[in-house]
């Protein structure tokens, strides 16, 4: 019985390590995607004239304004 409990503990610890590694990888990927989003957003807003952007994409303009004031 003690051996099976130790085996179960080892199995659970391995699962925990795997989950922690997956979480770390996901956080890294999230950071990369957020940076990519910001770069693309900046490219988009710099290429679109402000009058056109305000009419066709007000959510992008509003989003960028919020970022400027919150950082």
Q: Which parts of 1-71 fold into alpha helices (H)?
A: 2-47, 50-56, 58-70
Q: Is the pTM of this model over 0.85?
A: no
> Can you tell me the mean pLDDT for 12-25?
99
- Domain membership of residue 22 as a residue range: 2-70
Give pLDDT, residue 71: 46
**What is the Cα–Cα distance from 34 to 63, expressed in whole angstroms?**
14
Total tally of structural domains belonging to the chain: 1
What's the pLDDT tens digit per position in 20-62?
Answer: 999 999 999 999 999 999 999 999 999 887 766 566 666 665 6
Give residue 1's pLDDT band: very low, low, confident or very high (50, 70, 90).
confident
Nearest 5°: CA angle at 50, between 39 and 40?
Answer: 10
């Amino acid at each position: 019985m003690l051996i099976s409990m130790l085996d179960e503990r080892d199995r659970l610890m391995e699962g925990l390590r795997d989950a922690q590694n997956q979480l770390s990888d996901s956080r890294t990927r999230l950071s990369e995607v957020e940076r990519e989003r910001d770069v693309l957003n900046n490219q988009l807003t710099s290429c679109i004239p402000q009058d056109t952007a305000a009419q066709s994409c007000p959510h992008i303009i509003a989003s960028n304004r919020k970022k400027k004031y919150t950082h």
